[in-house]
Structure 1
Amino acid sequence: MMRPWILSVLFALCGVAVAASTAAQGSPVAAAAFLLAFTLAAAMNSPLVFPRSLSASEAQRRAAADGRPVVFWRPGCTYCLRLRLRLGRDARRLHWVDIWRDPEGAAAVRAVNDGNETVPTVFVAGRARTNPPVEWVREQLCPSV
């Protein structure tokens, strides 16, 4: 359960260490800046940035009912973070599956990526697309009639 938080915790600990060292050298403003930068990095790499994750089976069931894409992701993935941030509020309309929390989701990603856990992988109507452009994902949310 701790695995998704490892990167965030490391950023926070490094931030405290660098800030303490900088403050000890007599530069409290620089120490505060370092602490702020590392805290932001920790927050951006935490699972809290993403909408609540579902299990792969629940996400697929919901996607079958409403036609929305399912995004498989993992904490610490810069491509996942970039997709999440560029989607903005639209990200909440997708079904998100954290492959580090759901072995079934990790298996689904490996099945379409030659055995690799390459994320983000987006499933739409049974088809998978790995690291898709944000514009493509938005199109899948609002298909033209």
Structure 2
Amino acid sequence: MWAVGVAAIAVAGCASLGPKRSDIVQAAPSCQDFTVSIYFERDSTQVTREARAVLRGASGMAAGCKVDKVTVTGLADAVGAANVNLQLSRDRAQAVEQALARAGFPTIEFSTAAVGDAGATTSDGQARPLRRRTDVAVDLGGPL
């Protein structure tokens, strides 16, 4: 009987702790421009599970904001022929654009570009494998 009384007091005390639902205020979205990078395996245009998670996160970051512009830029490393790398970077940009739409990104017209392997080597001739990516730059205009 004593335990029931203590439990009742504890529950009653807990019920009064913490903010009331009406006191909770949601913060407005920050609506700051941002860029995310989506990485690919060599010679691949496959958007990975991890990349899709990054794109869903980008969609969440843009939620509640006016999306002014999204630029999707495909890149490639310096391995292979330049014309093949240019097409590969175009295909990567297109794959990411489609994945953005599936991730729930606001319906807007994407600006898509491809640079192929331009800039994929350092001045001393070293290859840059991290160029196997697509960069997504999101320009936000403020809260909706």
TM-score bucket of the superposed structures, by smaller chain: under 0.3
TM-score (norm 1): 0.22
TM-score (norm 2): 0.22
Structure with the higher fraction of residues in helix conformation:
1
Higher Cα Rg, which structure:
2
Greater relative contact order: 1 or 2 (C-alpha under 8 angstroms, separation 6 or more)? 2
